[in-house]
Amino acid sequence: MAEDQNADESGGGGGSSKKLMILIILAIAVLGAGGGAAWFMMGSGEEEETHTTEKKYEKDSGEAHGDEPGPIVELDPFVLNLADREELRYLKISIKLELDRPEEQTDYPVKVPAIRDALLVLLSSKDSHLLRTTNGKRRVRDEILSRANGVMNKGKIANVFFTDFVIQ
C-alpha cells in the first residue's frame, strides 16, 4: 500500500506539472494570438490611412496642374517654436507654393503677409512628434493648402512643397 501511495504521489505530481506546463503554453499562445491580431488591426488601419492620404494627394496634385505645373512662388523661411510641452523645440521650414495661374492674375503678392501669419499660427500649434512622421507632414501640407487658400480671394494655391524641414 505504501508503494501505491508513493506511485500516486509521483504520478500525481507529474500530472499536475504537465497540466501547469500545458496551461502556460496555452496562455502564451492566447496572448500571442491576441497581440498578433492587435498588431494586424492597427497596422492595416495605418496602411489604409497612408494609401488614402496618398491617393488624395495624387488626385489633388493631378487635378491642380494637369500637364504643366503652375508658377512657383517661395515664402521666406519660417523659424518658430513648436508646441511641445516637455522640451523646447524649433522648426525651420521653407515652403514653396504652386499657383493655379500666373502670379499677376492673383492677389498673392498683397496676401503674402496674411498667408505667412496664418501659416505661422498653424505651424507653431504643432507638436514635433506629429511633424516627424510622413503622414503628419502630409496632414500639415493639406492644412497649409487650406489655410493659404482661405486667405486668397483671386486665384488659388494648387500645391505646397517643403524645400527645407528641420526640427531641433
Tens-digit pLDDT string for the chain (168 aa): 444 544 444 445 567 888 888 888 888 888 877 777 766 666 544 444 444 444 444 444 444 445 688 999 999 999 999 999 889 999 999 999 999 999 999 999 999 999 999 999 999 999 999 999 999 999 999 999 999 999 999 999 999 999 999 999
Chain centre to alpha carbon of residue 39: 17
Q: Is 1 helix (H, G, I), strand (E, B) or coil?
A: coil
Q: Following DSSP, what letter does each residue of 56-124 receive, concatenated?
A: HHHHHHHHHHTTS---EEEPPPEEEE---SSS--EEEEEEEEEESS-GGGSSHHHHHHHHHHHHHHHHH
- Whether pTM exceeds 0.85: no
Tracing cell 522648426 back to the chain, one arrives at: 91
Tell me the domain boundaries of the chain. Answer: 1-60, 69-167
The fold for domain 69-167 equals: Tetrahydropterin Synthase; Chain A (3.30.479)
How far, CA to CA in Å, does 86 sit from each of 82, 83, 110, 120, 131?
11, 9, 38, 21, 16
